[in-house]
Structure 1
């Protein structure tokens, strides 16, 4: 059995990938805070069953170029998580619904959760090494 097959480590890896993708989405919200008619996006947090496998499928997020002058999205994105469409309730006269305060709170909470997941992942690996006598 490979270490990658352990449900706990697989769930933690999925959680860390979700936090990385969410950080990218939140940074796009912040960078478009002055773009007219921009609506902020967020990701739905993945749910796990008792075996550590994600529950429900994740639909791929795709970026859309609305102008040929826009930079093309990189093809190496891990865009495999559901998008939360219930964000951005306050809209400014220009149609922009990004609140920098809310986005920065989300960024900081996301960063702390990612740090907790990476810490748990590292501790799990150290525990496994101790169990097999390598530490």
Structure 2
């Protein structure tokens, strides 16, 4: 959804957060689904580091505003996600080589779900505010 220039970066950042949390949910679900698979190595995504990543532009071309009333130029690369899958701690409680720690994974899943729901609520409130502003504050 193109939201560049609508007041601030909040919507783009929340969209990025939702995308990352959704991806993290799939990775955690995969770990849980493979908890009984011998020699399965758990995988983790470090979402907080990706959210804190500075915006980077790979383009040698820069855009400029030709008039002060034009909307500000936003970085199109903001929603691009570059994640590396990291192996979870290589410690197996069981003797089959599986490294899924179900308690740790379920805790991470609960935290991820809470953060996803919080981002969903924030973006919903942002759109309600924009809708209210377009209606004239009624």
TM-score by length of 2: 0.68
Q: Which residue of 2 aligns with 1:106?
A: 108
TM alignment of 1:53-92, pairs within 5 A: 55=54, 80-85=82-87, 87-91=88-92, 92=94
Deviation at 1:117, TM superposition (A): 0.2
Deviation track 1:89-118 (CA, whole Å, cap 9, x = no partner) reads 421321111011111111111111100000
Q: Could you say what the CA RMSD is over the residues aligned between the two structures, in angstroms?
A: 2.5
Q: Choose from 24, 48, 51 the match for 1:47.
A: 51
Larger Rg: 2
How many Å separate the matches in 1 of 2:109 and 2:3? 28
Q: In 2 relative to 1, CA 26–56 (structure 1 residues): closer, same or farther, beyond 3 Å?
A: farther
Q: Does 1:93 align with 2:95?
A: yes
User: Could you tell me how far apart the structure 1 residues matched to 2:90 and 2:55 are?
Assistant: 27
Aligned to 2:62: none
* Equivalent in the alignment of 2:35: 33
C-alpha deviation, 1:119, in angstroms = 0.1
User: 1:23 offset after TM fit, Å?
Assistant: 0.5
Aligned pair count?
108
Verify: 1:129 aligned to 2:134, yes or no: no
> Which TM-score applies when normalising by structure 1?
0.69
- Distance in 2 of aligned mates of 1:82 and 1:18: 12
5+ residue gaps, structure 2: 57-80
Q: Which moved more, 1:110-119 or 1:31-40?
A: 31-40
